[in-house]
Amino acid sequence: MERREFLKKTLSVGVGAGALLLPRGLRAGVSRAMAEDSPPDLVALRGSSPAAMFDRGIAALGGIGRFVKSGQTVVVKPNVSWDVAENAAANTSPELVARVIKHCLDAGAKRVLVLDHSIEYWERSWNGSGIAAAVKAVGGVHAPAESQGYYQKIDVAGSTLKSTQIHESLLECDVLVSVPVLKHHGGAGVSIAIKNLMGCIWNRNEYHSKGLQACIADFLHARKPGLNVVDACRVITRHGPRGGSQEDVVTMNAQIISPDIVAADAASAKLLGREPSDIGHIRLAAEAGFGQIDLTKLKIERLAV
């Protein structure tokens, strides 16, 4: 499916894909004075490589130094769950992962760990996706996650999730950056920045047994990212999260960046033609106070790169 065909189907849904991606300035209700005095809440980009869009978008947000300080340890959390090639769109773009790492190191980060508890065999997923090579090339460190010994049980003050085994790197790092790939998800509806954090725990089955949507949202009580970078260059629109064929993939050449994880997911859900409030974990995260689901209340900067 081509991007033009898919976008025609989503434009009728509220603030649709076209509205988010076209660089038409500020959203109604946000003053020009506010625009000049403070960075945007969210940046929506279209039209170039993942690295070029991130360069432009993070600059619009005030630079990576706003989120990462010298001497800090950073965990970058992409999606590396599947043993498929990059064009399958099931994993985050390795180019984007590398660029995020480089910016963090350029800001003076002491160490940048890259984490995902892969669903399919981890070595094939990391190598086949291209992410292992991309991480190594820019000086990042792959955080091993395939053994239960890397996880520690913690209490979680959620409505449904009361405890879980979380990867040790999240308990030790200064900054967490969620870098998901946008895609359809058969169980959760969508897989974006909040759902991406499910790859930080040891036992995914506990989410499914206790209540998937509530547990996904409840994890934010344990750890919330300081920055969220959504890869929407190639997007699985059906049969997610792994996808079935290239017919499931739409090329959007887009990216959403925000420190607000709920806003990032809300804007990204719109790209899939989904109303954010209809996605259980996005709605529950907003109700719990983890971010803003109403895009009309945000200052959004749209950029074409």
Tokens of 254: 């887009």
- Percent helix, strand and coil across the chain, each to the nearest 5: 40, 20, 35
Q: 145-191: per-residue pLDDT in tens?
A: 999 999 999 999 999 999 999 999 999 999 999 999 999 999 999 99
Q: Beta partners for 183?
A: 191, 236
Q: Which amino acid is present at 191?
A: S
Q: Is 273 left (phi over 0), alpha (psi -120 to 50) or beta?
A: left
Please say if the pLDDT value at position 26 is more than 70.
no
Output phi, psi for 43, to 5 deg.
-120, 130
For residues 80 and 34, the model is more confident at 80
The reply to whether the predicted model has a pTM over 0.85 is yes
| Averaged pLDDT for residues 200-227 | 97
pLDDT of amino acid 36: 62
**Under 8 Å CB-to-CB from 73, ≥6 apart: which residues?**
109, 110, 111, 112, 113, 172, 173, 174, 175
Of 2, 7, 3, 4, residue with least CA distance to 273: 7
Tokens of 271: 């790209």
- Give the CATH class of 3-304: alpha beta
